Amino acid sequence: MEHPIDHWPGRMIGPVYVRSTPGDAADQAVYVHGLAGSATNWTDLMGLLQDEVTGHALDLPGAGHSPAPEDGDYSIDGHARAVIGLIERIGAPVHLFGNSLGGAVSVRLAATRPDLVRTLTLVSPALPDLFPRYGPARVAMSATPGIADWAINRLGTISAERRLRATMAWCYADASRVHPDRLRDAIEEVRRRDALPYAGKALLATARGIVREYFRGRLWRDAAAVTAPTLVIHGRRDKIVHSRMAVAAGRAFHDVRLVTLADAGHVAQMELPEAVAREARRLISEVRLGNAATPRLG
pLDDT (tens digit per residue) in 131-144? 555 455 455 445 45
Confidence check: pLDDT of 296 > 60: no
Provide the pLDDT for residue 262. Answer: 96
pLDDT (tens digit per residue) in 55-109? 999 999 999 999 999 999 999 999 999 999 999 999 999 999 999 999 999 999 9
Confidence of residue 24 (pLDDT cuts 50, 70, 90): confident
Domain 10-289: which topology? Rossmann fold (3.40.50)
- Could you tell me which of 290, 289, 264, 278 has the C-alpha nearest to residue 231? 278
> 180 with 2: CB under 8 angstroms?
no
Confidence check: pLDDT of 153 > 60: no
Half-sphere exposure of residue 210: CA atoms within 13 angstroms, side-chain side: 30
Average pLDDT of 43-51? 97
Which residues on adjacent β-strands are paired with residue 122?
98, 232
160 burial via Cβ count (<10 Å: 0-12, 13-18, 19+): middle
**Is 13 strand, coil or helix?**
strand
The average confidence (pLDDT) of the chain is 90
Model's pTM, two decimal places? Answer: 0.92
CA–CA separation, 214 and 237 (whole Å): 22
Confidence of residue 3 (pLDDT cuts 50, 70, 90): confident
Domains of the chain by residue range: 10-289
